[in-house]
A and B are shown apart, each in its own frame.
Chain A
């Protein structure tokens, strides 16, 4: 049976993890390569490395970080943040990424999705969507809007419509972050996730708002998510992807339990 995926996300700046899943017994909790390896060992189904480096010099550091992280990682590995062109993507793939996540660059030039897919396959292109419910609309969820620039810029597009366009342009997966839920630990936006997931045939990864194991169960149930991003799982009262998955399995959610 196809399982629901738990994806560990590491936010990286200048080659160091600045936010993400922390392990107390890891000597260097800031090293992305060490953390990624540890998460994979603990049963994370995939690793996402999100580069939040703002500077140009940081790009060279990122490629080195990707190379080191990919070196002994044998689960799917996605890199996002700052990928603006097909050649940016190519450099990240050559450093060892299996997929790239693109966000504002795809909104600015939707043909970028197909360009990257033409060389590396549709499965290698994740379109990340940051969305917020539209309280003024009759259907706040269906009309949830897509934002860029950390939520400061309203693109005027709806999440459902943009996800459908991304799919038709050849995206392999959608990474949907609810800006209303992000950071609240009050649960994923299951209605928004379901609205997007039911509108497309490609997998949808839910992000934003996880606070408990039950939140994951909810987003895999009513949220119809195919995968969920765990950005700081250690704070949820579980120590690892392994224990999160064990608890999900007890709740009847199909997950891969590592041997």
Chain B
């Protein structure tokens, strides 16, 4: 199981790489586009600010990722990495996302609840999801974010915080999770293992 993890200096990718190696994957870390041409599957981690994805444009990673996705290889975005799959985010309106999904990422509405949404919350997977195969309804995952994706036809799991939002998305070979599977104990490891075992489509 080979996986290429993209390093764009957004947060700390140590945890993601560690979890993948724990699962027996051979991990290549890259901060440039070249290795993506040969990649068998790609993970875009990320935590922090949406503006950090600007580096993907500056380093030529964006077109390389688009090309890899069109080859049909499995692609997984984590947290900001999932949000980047959409057209953009109100967190950094000047920064465009990949636009694979047309919607825009928006902040949780103001109210009595705290924002950011931090901690362990339940995910309700869509039974057809390949990424979330074997994950029961209401298993817990670890979240830390203030912006979230709307529920659409591509939503692979929903979570409730203030309002229901998309905690996972899945469209053919493209996957995203808002939570941190690398920090979500056994549930998260199961999801990463599912991803590592996906075949190109």
Contact = CB atoms under 8 A, between A and B. Distances in A.
Per DSSP, are chain A's interface residues mostly helix, strand or loop, or mixed? loop
A172 B144 contact: yes
B117 interface: yes
A124 B48 CA distance: 9
Contacts of B84: none
Interface stretch (B34-42, B54-62, B97-105, B118-126): B118-126
Interface string B16-55: 0011001000000000000000000000000111000000
Contact of A71 (B11, B18, B118, B120): B18
Contact of A124 (B11, B22, B185): B11
A256 B120 contact: yes
Contact of B118 (A1, A74, A226, A259): A226
Contact of B119 (A3, A93, A119, A121): A3
Interface residues of B, number: 36
A119 B10 CA distance: 7
Interface string A164-178: 000000001100000
A85 B57 CA distance: 31
Residue of B10, B19, B47 with highest tally of chain A CB at under 10 A: B47
A72 B182 CA distance: 11
Contacts of B19: 74
Nearest to B187: A259
Contacts of A202: 114, 116, 118
Contacts of B14: 70, 93-94, 96
A31 B95 CA distance: 46
B11 A120 contact: yes
Contact of A74 (B49, B114, B144, B188): B188
B184 interface: yes
B12 interface: yes
Residue of A2, A5, A173 with highest tally of chain B CB at under 10 A: A2
A222 interface: no
B92 interface: no
B161 A2 contact: yes
Nearest to B19: A74
A122 B183 contact: no
Contact of A259 (B161, B183, B186): B186
Given A75-B142, A96-B14, A121-B10, 9 more contacts: A4-B119, A5-B120, A45-B119, A45-B120, A74-B183, A121-B48, A121-B49, A123-B145, A202-B114
Closest 4 CB pairs of A and B: A121-B48, A123-B144, A256-B120, A256-B140
Interface of A: 1-5, 40, 45, 70-72, 74-76, 93-94, 96, 98, 119-124, 172-173, 201-203, 226-227, 256, 258-259
Interface of B: 9-12, 14-15, 18-19, 22, 47-49, 114-122, 139-140, 142-145, 160-161, 182-186, 188-189
28 contacts: A2-B117, A2-B143, A40-B185, A45-B120, A70-B14, A71-B18, A72-B22, A74-B19, A74-B182, A74-B184, A74-B188, A74-B189, A75-B185, A94-B14, A96-B15, A96-B18, A119-B9, A121-B11, A121-B47, A123-B47, A123-B144, A124-B48, A172-B118, A172-B144, A202-B116, A203-B118, A256-B140, A259-B139
